[in-house]
Amino acid sequence: MSRSSRSSALAAAAALTLVACGSNDAPAASRTGTPGGPAAVTGDITVFAASSLTETFTRLGKDFEAANPGAKVTFNFGGSSALAQQINSGAPADVFASAAPANMKQVSDAGGVSGSPKTFVRNKLQIAVPAGNPGKVTGLADLAKQDLKIALCAEQVPCGAAARKALQAAGVTAAPDTLEQDVKAVLTKVSLGEVDAALVYRTDVKAAGGKVEGIAFPEADQAVNDYPIATLAKAPNAAGAKAFVDFVLSDKGRAVLGAAGFDGP
């Protein structure tokens, strides 16, 4: 073989080597996640969650997005009973986090849940009063006083069902002036000074900061709410739904929830 022929052969071999290297690098550049680790989650993830989870899930959503830059978490917070109805009516959602098993069962019985719901936290009630406690409320018995303005959740809402159990345990017949459809609406009445007292979750009292004061009562132990979470059968983003639920159940998720005052399951 002549010198010029050998040079041409070497050049061709070098070109083939570069092409081969380039073809190996291209797929690697398009992969998501850490090499050797799980792929990062992408796309929109819609989470229907009880209103008492507003602060913690908003924080967890931001943390989840930071860990998965291609993902966007959108929340629909509200009373668990209303959320269950929306899901059963066909509202598109990926995850449901309820403040009570009964509302999760509504969705599960309709075939809307994928897999088995998992209880991830528990919560209990406190009496919430405006800062300074102008009504001088000291316990559940005061919720029966006609001269005080009282707010409760409606009974079909988990916080309302829990309030009914606690009041029955204490032998108190409350005289509510307003019944609200979610716990945040009740809390707003207290923080604005529109009512003298209300029953809300202790996590809501903590989230309100100095705007309200919380009064613990022993009967709250007889009305503890379990919070289940589940991916939904018709989730538009099933992979994202599973990843978000796993994130909530992770040590980091439990730390955020615990710091907000939730108990472990």
The domains found in the chain, sorted by start residue, are: 43-121+226-259 (3.40.190.10), 125-222 (3.40.190.10)
List of residues 6+ apart from 249 with CB closer than 8 A: 118, 120, 229
Residue 40's pLDDT is what? Answer: 77
Q: Which of 96, 138, 89 is CA-nearest to residue 118?
A: 96
pLDDT band at residue 32 using 50, 70 and 90 as cut-offs = very low
Q: Mean pLDDT across the stretch 97-126?
A: 97
Give the pLDDT confidence of 53-100 residue by residue, as tens digits: 999 999 999 999 999 999 999 999 999 999 999 999 999 999 999 999
pLDDT tens sequence across 193-230: 999 999 999 999 999 999 999 999 999 999 999 999 99
pLDDT for residue 25 is more than 50: no
- Whether pLDDT at 37 is above 60: no
Q: Can you say whether residue 105 is alpha, beta or left, with left for phi > 0 and alpha for psi between -120 and 50 degrees?
A: alpha
Query: In angstroms, what is the C-alpha Rg of the chain?
Result: 26
User: What token pair was written down for 13?
Assistant: 């071999």
Question: Under a CB-based contact definition with an 8 Å cutoff, are residues 68 and 95 in contact?
Answer: no
- Are 141 and 148 a contacting pair, CB within 8 Å? no
Q: Does residue 177 surpass a pLDDT of 90?
A: yes
Mean pLDDT, rounded, for 115-130: 97
User: Nearest-CA neighbor of 47 among 204, 226, 251, 245?
Assistant: 245
Residue 122, token pair as written in the block: 């528990």
